[in-house]
Amino acid sequence: MNTTRSEIIIIGAGIGGLVAALALLQKGFRVQVHEQAPMLGEVGAGFTISTGAQKIMRELGLLEQVHDNSLITTKMPFVHYQSARNLNDQPDRSDELTRDNSMDARHMHRADLHNILANAFQERAPGQLFLNHRLQGVTQKNSRVSAEFANGELASGDLLIGADGVRSTVRALLWGDGAPRFTGQIAYRCLLPIEIAQPYLALGRAAQFIGPRRIFSRYTVRQNKILNCVGIVQSDEWLDDGWSTPATPEEMSAQYVGWHPDVVDLVAKAPRVGLIKWGLFDRPMLKRWTEDRVTLLGDAAHPMLPFLGLGAAMAIEDGIVLAHALDAATVNNETDHTGGFANYEALRHPRVAKVAELSREQGDRIQSIDPDHYDKVSAPASNRALYDFDIPTNIKAG
């Protein structure tokens, strides 16, 4: 592997940033990752890793670890919030699936994927992951880009990637397009031991209850030992700026009065420590993500609402596409970053714009006043092409 290619600074050690780091390392680039948190960790709990995202994990040499730490799932059944009637005629059959090496969509604990990615990066690039590095300045000068951190440390490289989330400091410093907008949605999340949750899982290990102005989704993770519960409710205001504000079972229960007993009883079992809430924020996608030697990735460039479960997948796709684009723009170790970044944006803009739009549409549909009229055929969640899109194959074909 060539070790004299461009040096790339990545701001943000979340899933998207680490995928980009690993993919760039594979292409021979030198990579350093800077994370503002004092220790590694990933906000959130369960999430779905799509077929397309798994193909990227295979390209990174991590698919076996991902499969060892995830559960095969079928299409998430949508059920009526009061009667539990199946609205998309798709029962949960994941308990019957034993194809451990299949590429079916999987449920996984977000922290497990994050650990796999972080460990792989630290093994492949020892000493290049820096914690407690809160970005406060970016300077581009003399064919170099520098990052200044609040602790006084400096980093210098040829290119910089902002993978620092919906409240991206990189985006604010270079584009200054204002703060994210509260969407009128609040999410609640908790984890329950399967021993406590089992009596309320008659519908199977995965189901999403949909009703007026709110949804409740639950599925097992970590080899069926833990139930991941997420409720999203419409609300007029959100006063807290935190990502994980403590909530109480009573507060969450008040959101689901009159819902199916399985939901009501599960929410009542929520732990007093570990039940959190956070506001969902959105912002317009920038027309351009790149400013000379700096570009954006994931939520920093294109925030995703969670209603299609593709937010992490979009950041994962960004990371692999960016690495391929910069590799294709490198000749004799000289990278045409202008062409590479332009190709990256051209490949990603149409897909992420479509997914972002359809995520909002899916949210409107499943929080409609009358779930009995949920149209499973036309709903974005029924579009398998969104989930199965093969990034590695499309890159090579292009």
Residue that finishes a domain, picked among 222, 250, 282 = 282
CA distance 119 to 320: 18
Residue 250 above 80 pLDDT? yes
Predicted confidence at residue 251, as pLDDT, reads: 94
Residues 163, 292, single domain; the answer is yes
Share of the chain above pLDDT 90, in %: 65
Query: Any idea what the CATH number is for the domain that residue 22 is in?
Result: 3.50.50.60
Mean pLDDT of 187-197: 94
Q: Which of 21-35, 61-75, 90-104, 305-319 has the highest mean pLDDT?
A: 21-35
* 367 assigned to some structural domain: yes
Residue 94 above 60 pLDDT? no
Query: Any idea what the CATH number is for the domain that residue 244 is in?
Result: 3.30.9.30
Q: Helical H runs in 192-281?
A: 194-197, 249-253, 261-268
* 86 assigned to some structural domain: no
Predicted confidence at residue 329, as pLDDT, reads: 95
Residues 169, 35, single domain; the answer is yes
* 96 assigned to some structural domain: no
CA 312 vs. chain centroid, Å, equals: 2
Residues 155, 199, single domain; the answer is no
Mean pLDDT of 86-114: 72
Band (2; pLDDT cuts 50, 70, 90): very low
Residues 61, 27, single domain; the answer is yes
Residues 24, 171, single domain; the answer is yes
Q: Which residues pair with 91 in a beta bridge?
A: none
Residue 102 above 80 pLDDT? no
Mean pLDDT of 255-273: 94
Residues 63, 146, single domain; the answer is yes
The answer to whether the beta carbons of residues 212 and 364 sit under 8 Å apart is no
Residue that finishes a domain, picked among 228, 262, 282 = 282
- Quick one: tokens of 85? 């009637």
Predicted confidence at residue 248, as pLDDT, reads: 93
Residues 346, 390, single domain; the answer is yes
Q: Which domain range does residue 269 map to?
A: 181-282
**How many domains does the chain fold into?**
2
* 78 assigned to some structural domain: no
Residues 136, 54, single domain; the answer is yes
Residues 39, 166, single domain; the answer is yes
Band (205; pLDDT cuts 50, 70, 90): confident
Helix axes 15-26, 311-328, angle to 10 degrees: 30
Residues 19, 115, single domain; the answer is yes
Predicted confidence at residue 1, as pLDDT, reads: 42
Residue 132 above 70 pLDDT? yes
Residue 241 above 80 pLDDT? no
Burial class from Cβ neighbours inside 10 Å (0-12, 13-18, 19+) for residue 39 reads exposed
CA distance 96 to 98: 6
Residue 296 above 80 pLDDT? yes
* 345 assigned to some structural domain: yes
Q: Mean pLDDT of all residues in the chain?
A: 89
* pTM for the model: 0.92
* 100 assigned to some structural domain: no
Residues 43, 114, single domain; the answer is yes
Residue that finishes a domain, picked among 253, 282, 311 = 282
Secondary structure of 8-66 as H, E, C letters:
EEEECCCHHHHHHHHHHHHCCCEEEEECCCCCCCCCCCEEEECHHHHHHHHHCCCHHHH
CA distance 206 to 218: 6
Predicted confidence at residue 39, as pLDDT, reads: 87
Mean pLDDT of 255-271: 95
Band (379; pLDDT cuts 50, 70, 90): confident
What are 326-357's pLDDT values in tens digits?
Answer: 999 999 889 999 999 999 999 999 999 999 99
* 90 assigned to some structural domain: no
Burial class from Cβ neighbours inside 10 Å (0-12, 13-18, 19+) for residue 7 reads middle
Residue 325 above 80 pLDDT? yes
Q: What is the DSSP string of 126-150?
A: TT-EE-S--EEEEEEETTEEEEEET
Q: In degrees, to the nearest 5, what angle opens at C-alpha 69 toward C-alphas 314 and 352? A: 5
Q: What is the DSSP string of 317-332?
A: HHHHHHHHHHHHTEET
Band (322; pLDDT cuts 50, 70, 90): very high
* 80 assigned to some structural domain: no
Predicted confidence at residue 385, as pLDDT, reads: 84
Residues 120, 166, single domain; the answer is yes
Share of the chain above pLDDT 70, in %: 91
